[in-house]
Amino acid sequence: MGRWEPNPRGRLEQAAMELYSERGFDSTTVAEIAERSGLTERTFFRHFADKREVLFAGASTFQQFIVDKVESAPSDAAPIKAVGAALDAVGDFFEERGDFARKRQDIITANAELQERELIKLASLASAVADALRRRGVAEPAASLTAELGIAVFKIAFERWIDDVGKRTLRESIRESLDELDLVTATGSSREPSPSKAPRAGKR
């Protein structure tokens, strides 16, 4: 236990994740988390507002990371490119905590209340990204539309990364999803007749 002493937050997080996986989120109490970690409930509440925050405490840091990346994109970057660059940088943010991210996702997927909280966090992230785009001079509704598209890309890429263990990095998954977005939003689809081939009025 001595080697854990400098990191009470990490001990509490590890104990909580173990118990959530073993017993389920609803069946785990703060007292049990504290006991498993060798700490007190008082220490738990110094680090987390409640047992849900073990799973969501990093959301504000992640949101600020994304916002900073959007704001620091080149001034001439198109809105979706600014968001895309921010998402591309997310890979390193998660890659070192892949095991935690996967366990966390399993716990959230098994609990409707946690799923709802996750959606609220994503909505908050989209709102923050839209604000960052507006500060870059992007008007509405383009700012909100771009932010929502960006968060949808992240959500899909993250889920693919969680499911495809070892097949691709999160950065690769994000880039693939961004490429797919480019395809579905591209103009000049080959299915549309070109002006030169369109029938002319009055000719048979």
Residue 109: CATH number of its domain: 1.10.357.10
Same domain, 83 and 154: yes
Same domain, 76 and 27: no
- Side-chain-side CA neighbours of residue 110 (13 Å): 14
State what percent of residues in the chain have pLDDT above 90.
Answer: 70
pLDDT, one tens digit per residue, over 38-88 is: 999 999 999 999 999 999 988 999 999 999 999 999 999 999 999 999 999
Domain boundary among 18, 33, 54: 54
Indicate if the pLDDT at residue 30 is higher than 70: yes
Same domain, 78 and 141: yes
Alpha-carbon distance values, 186 to 39, 59, 154, 173, 183 (Å) = 55, 32, 19, 20, 5
Residue 41 lies inside a defined structural domain of this protein: yes
Residue 23: CATH number of its domain: 1.10.10.60
What is the average per-residue pLDDT within 103-120? Answer: 95
Residue 37 lies inside a defined structural domain of this protein: yes
Same domain, 153 and 93: yes
Same domain, 67 and 166: yes
Residue 174 vs residue 201, higher pLDDT: 174
pLDDT of residue 10: 92
Report DSSP state, residue 139. P
Indicate if the pLDDT at residue 27 is higher than 90: yes
What is the average per-residue pLDDT within 187-193? Answer: 46
Residue 174 lies inside a defined structural domain of this protein: yes
Please answer whether residues 4 and 10 qualify as being in contact, where contact means their C-beta atoms are separated by less than 8 angstroms. Answer: yes
What ranges in 72-169 are assigned the alpha helix state H? 79-95, 98-109, 112-135, 142-163
What is the average per-residue pLDDT within 192-201? Answer: 46
Phi and psi (nearest 5°) for 202?
85, -5
Q: Which two tokens stand for residue 15?
A: 């104990």
Residue-averaged pLDDT of the chain? 87
Same domain, 71 and 144: yes
Residue 97 vs residue 170, higher pLDDT: 170
Residue 142 lies inside a defined structural domain of this protein: yes
pLDDT, one tens digit per residue, over 126-172 is: 999 999 999 999 999 999 999 999 999 999 999 999 888 777 888 99
Residue 201 lies inside a defined structural domain of this protein: no
Indicate if the pLDDT at residue 187 is higher than 60: no
Residue 45 lies inside a defined structural domain of this protein: yes
CA distance 147 to 116: 20
Residue 63 is part of which domain span?
A: 58-183
Q: Which residue has the tokens 């110094």?
A: 46
Residue 168 lies inside a defined structural domain of this protein: yes
Same domain, 34 and 70: no
pLDDT of residue 5: 52
Residue 97 lies inside a defined structural domain of this protein: yes
Same domain, 33 and 89: no
Same domain, 48 and 108: no
Q: How many domains, in total, are found in the chain?
A: 2
